[in-house]
């Protein structure tokens, strides 16, 4: 079959299950349609570090993708072409590759001219970035520079604007439910509160959906600052009604106790997108619940089992949903390319596959509609109606 051109694929930001199935779907369909496919290694870093010289060793920057390569990787988790949080428009001088150090001398540099040069050198006709809003925001930048971009949404938090579903979210929900139920054995054995910190910087979907599925009695989310005393009272109530004398709360990593100045962070260091690493709200909630529990439990203290799930929900093989949806997203991206389109984000809305203009990435953060889906008095999901709702209940505003 005649070569129709070259498609480049990259994965940026955090790893999630479902990335490899997406790349498998793209590659197999593209090869059969007559395209060459290359995988850009380590996200946007590969396009920064590539040396546009036939004599250069660029094996660390990109690799040719074949059916054999993607078939072996397609059933696994993570990303076989690796990932990073590199932001070419804001690249610290300390992160510049050797061949660019004489060209850029500022503390922070925009190396987009060299990224564009490398895209031309590699002969990339279409670029498919798979990532969250940070990764895809730079994809939009390249779109404005004339690169043909078709983007695929990925994030554990399910917070990319313009789509109801992001690759990785299904496995995150599945693992959270499984691990919460597994941890119940210890909480029940000791008659304790079980506090589980889960993903969710700005959006509480990864706490709300598992709670809706019965993984927890209560959940606290970034969209609503909560009263810790009220949470303690509710959890004591739940515990005393349970035959095994324990209760469970899921805590989004971006949740805030009323009166907090901001989110809880592990340190002050920030990545190239300006984000400090979240973590610690679960520890704070656990300590306060233990301290407050006697007030609502007849003067007797209740101890706490406190667990941060972290990478446990983003490692390993994808679940069924994160095997099927990436396949559909990958083929949908090829449908757009074969139709001559670009500047699009593939999506699901109200249970239907489609696409939206890529500039949706620069819209408001996709967050839980508290009025529709969260009971602020009971600190749990709202169960008002399910008639005509899509699979994951909560939708994005388009």
Residues 224-266 pLDDT 10s:
999 999 999 999 999 999 999 999 999 999 999 998 877 666 6
Find the range with the poorest average confidence among 6-20, 75-89, 270-284, 374-388: 270-284
Report the b/e string of 345-382 with b at 16+ CB within 10 A: bbbbbeeebebbebebbeeeebbbeeeebbebeebbbb
pLDDT of residue 358: 98
Question: What are the domain boundaries of the chain?
Answer: 5-167+316-362, 170-313+370-381
Say which residue the tokens 């070569």 belong to: 3
Please choose, from the candidates 26, 13, 91, the residue with its C-alpha nearest in 3D space to the C-alpha of residue 338.
26
Please write the tens of the pLDDT for every residue from 124-151: 999 999 999 999 999 999 999 999 999 9
Asked if 33 and 335 count as a contact pair (C-beta separation under 8 A), the reply is no
CATH topology for 170-313+370-381 is Rossmann fold (3.40.50)
Residue spans of alpha helices (H) in the chain = 19-32, 45-49, 67-73, 112-121, 133-144, 169-190, 205-212, 228-241, 281-296, 321-338, 370-373
pTM: 0.94
Which residue, 133, 137, 130, is CA-closest to 88?
A: 137
Structure token digits, residue 134: 């940070």
Beta carbons of 125 and 116 less than 8 angstroms apart = no
Q: Which of 296, 266, 297 is nearest to 281 (CA)?
A: 266
Name the residues annotated as catalytic. Answer: 157
Check pLDDT > 90 for residue 203. Answer: yes
pLDDT score at 275? 58
- For the chain, the C-alpha Rg in angstroms (whole number) is 23
Given this chain, do its domains 5-167+316-362 and 170-313+370-381 carry the same CATH topology? Answer: yes
pLDDT tens-digit map of 262-289:
766 666 666 676 656 666 899 999 999 9
CB atoms within 10 A of CB 290: 18
Report pLDDT digits (tens) over 53-70. 999 999 999 999 999 999
pLDDT at 4: 92
Rounded to the nearest 10°, the torsion over CA 270, 271, 274, 277 is -60
Angle at 79 between CA 78 and CA 82, to 5 degrees: 120
CATH 2.60.40.10 fits 5-167+316-362, yes or no: no
Can you tell me the distance from the alpha carbon of 131 to that of 83, in angstroms, rounded to the nearest whole number?
10
């Amino acid at each position: 079959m005649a070569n129709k051109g070259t498609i480049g694929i990259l994965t940026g930001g955090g790893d999630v299950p479902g990335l490899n199935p997406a790349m498998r779907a793209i590659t197999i369909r593209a090869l059969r349609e007559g395209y060459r496919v290359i995988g850009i290694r380590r996200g946007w870093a590969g396009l920064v570090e590539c040396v546009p010289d036939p004599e250069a060793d660029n094996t660390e920057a990109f690799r040719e993708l074949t059916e054999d390569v993607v078939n072996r990787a397609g059933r696994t988790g993570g990303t076989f072409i690796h990932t990073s949080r590199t932001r070419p428009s804001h690249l610290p001088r300390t992160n510049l590759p050797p061949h660019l150090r004489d060209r850029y001398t500022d503390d922070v540099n925009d190396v987009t001219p060299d990224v564009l040069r490398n895209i031309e050198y590699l002969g990339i006709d279409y670029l498919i970035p798979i990532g969250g809003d940070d990764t895809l925001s730079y994809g939009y930048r390249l779109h404005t520079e004339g690169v043909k971009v078709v983007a695929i949404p990925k994030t554990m938090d399910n917070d990319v604007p313009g789509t109801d579903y992001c690759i990785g979210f299904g496995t995150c929900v599945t693992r959270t439910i499984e691990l919460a139920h597994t941890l119940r054995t210890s909480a029940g054995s000791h008659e304790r509160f079980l506090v589980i910190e889960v993903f969710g910087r700005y959006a509480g979907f990864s706490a709300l959906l598992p709670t809706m599925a019965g993984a927890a009695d209560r959940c606290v989310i970034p969209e609503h600052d909560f009263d810790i005393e009220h949470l303690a009272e509710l959890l004591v109530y739940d515990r005393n009604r349970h035959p095994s004398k324990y209760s469970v709360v899921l805590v989004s990593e971006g949740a805030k106790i009323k009166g907090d100045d901001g989110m809880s962070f592990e340190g002050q260091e920030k990545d190239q997108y300006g984000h400090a690493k979240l973590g610690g709200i679960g520890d704070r909630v656990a300590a306060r619940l233990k301290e407050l529990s006697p007030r609502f439990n007849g003067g007797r203290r209740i101890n706490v089992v406190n667990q941060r799930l972290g990478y446990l929900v983003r490692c390993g093989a994808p679940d069924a949903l994160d095997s099927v949806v990436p396949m559909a997203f990958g083929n949908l991206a090829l449908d757009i390319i074969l139709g001559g389109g670009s500047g699009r984000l593939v999506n699901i809305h109200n249970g239907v596959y489609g696409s939206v203009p890529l500039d949706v990435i620069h819209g408001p953060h996709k967050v839980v509609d508290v009025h529709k889906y969260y009971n602020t008095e009971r600190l749990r999901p709202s169960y008002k109606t399910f008639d005509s709702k899509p699979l994951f209940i909560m939708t994005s505003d388009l």
